[in-house]
Structure 1
Amino acid sequence: MKPSPSDHEAWNAYLAEGNAKQARKRVGADVLLRNAAGEFLLVEPTYKPGWDLPGGMVEANEAPDLAAARELREELNLTVEVQGLLVVDWVAPHGPWDDQLAFIFDGGVLDEETAGSLRPSDEELSQLAFFPADPAQRLLNPRLSRRFVAALAALEDGVPRYLRRAS
């Protein structure tokens, strides 16, 4: 029998049971950062092949934009104010992975001194570099390249993009 909301303790236990049965999503949060020349920052992770956008996985009960900012602090020793949402991409289950929500946020333009002084600050990154849009797009894996192109379009017209990739 469902408890009444007036029985606060029983009601919260009932809601907690329902919450425990609901799906959990993997969530990733990346940031699009540019230098004064309009080039885009890519990073090379040590734990997977190829180039990536700076960012990472969202922790339990963490907001995606705050996770993106945290990842920049941890991996690049960089503090930026995330300026807005560019892309949300729902990625269907694939291989050993469940589905995922992948965000890209606008990190703005870094001044010349900040961009020039960036270095990986933990073991998760081996290198970083700024690239013009076309080479950056080609360096990213196909799923991330698609997201990157959508982020560029969102930067251009100010309209965030929702993508959905089937398996």
Structure 2
Amino acid sequence: MKPPAPHPSDKDAWNAYLAEGNAKQARKRVAADVLLRDSVGRVLLVNPNYKPGWDLPGGMAEDNEPPEDAVIRELSEELGLRVTVHGLLVVDWVAPHGPWDDQLAFIFDGGTLGQGQVDRLIPHDDELVEASFVTLEDAQNRLGDRIRRRFMAAMDALADGRPRYLRDGVPTA
């Protein structure tokens, strides 16, 4: 039989009890991307060198890093961009696949970049081969299935102002 939980007034015992429970909980990988547009409505895609295909700008969150902070950090590191996150567009629960456990993938609205930012946009580290503003149709053609579904849900959320929750890229009822 499991011993009773300590009383919260015994702070050391209570924190040890909570830490034990925390150590047994599942951990989730968190990806955070951003939807950025230029003044004519094209979207920014990046071509990373560490995986095949094009992607939205962003990346993986570090330990205990909020997703919106992760996307701001990643854009600064990879593209030298300072962006303001305007809101959440998509949360996608991605099922385990290949060697990977499940993850939560977020897409945030990064708004529209000014022409000066667009003109100066180049990769700032060796993780990206290229960054390019493309039409919606071109984005759909360049993105792989999983990220394409997430991207289209983000575009729908942007259009009607309602964030989307997906399971493996599929909207839930």
Settle same-fold status: TM greater than 0.5: yes
User: If the TM-score is normalised by the length of the shorter chain, which range does it land in?
Assistant: over 0.9
Q: Return the offset for 1:165.
A: 1.6
SS in 2 for 1:154: helix
Q: Give me the whole-angstrom Cα distance separating, in 1, the residues matched to 2:84 and 2:23.
A: 33
1:2-57 alpha-carbon deviations (Å, 9 max, x no partner): 21111110000000000010000010000000011100000000101110100000
The CA distance in 2 between the partners of 1:138 and 1:121, in whole Å, is 25
Following the alignment from structure 2 to structure 1, what is the Cα–Cα distance between the partners of residues 116 and 8?
57
1:22 aligns with 2:25: yes
- Partner residue of 2:103? 100
Query: Residue 113 of structure 1: CA displacement?
Result: 1.2
User: What is the TM-score normalised by the length of structure 1?
Assistant: 0.98
> 1:117 maps to which residue?
120
What corresponds to 1:37 in structure 2?
40
Aligned counterpart in structure 1 of residue 59 of structure 2, from 56, 59, 68: 56
Q: Distance in 1 between matches of 2:113 and 2:130?
A: 18
Q: Tell me the equivalent position of 2:148.
A: 145
AA at the equivalent of 1:125:
L
- Report the RMSD for the aligned CA atoms in angstroms: 0.9
Q: Which residue of structure 2 aligns with residue 68 of structure 1? A: 71
* Aligned position for 1:78: 81
Separation in 2, partners of 1:128, 1:4: 54
- SS of the residue corresponding to residue 56 of structure 1 reads strand
Could you say what secondary structure the match of 1:23 adopts? Answer: coil
Unaligned runs of 5+ in 1: none
1:161 matched residue in structure 2: 164
Give the structure 1 partner of residue 136 of structure 2: 133
Determine the C-alpha separation between the residues in 1 that align with 2:140 and 2:32.
18
Identity %: 65
**TM-score normalized with structure 2 length:** 0.94
Letter in 2 for 1:98: D
**1:81, 1:128 → 2: CA distance?**
19
Mapped to 2, the partners of 1:85 and 1:115 lie a distance apart of 23
- Is residue 47 of structure 1 aligned with residue 11 of structure 2? no
Q: Distance in 2 between matches of 1:6 and 1:100?
A: 36
Report the count of equivalent residues: 166
> Which aligned runs of 4 or more in structure 1 are off by greater than 6 angstroms?
none
Q: CA deviation at 1:145?
A: 0.1
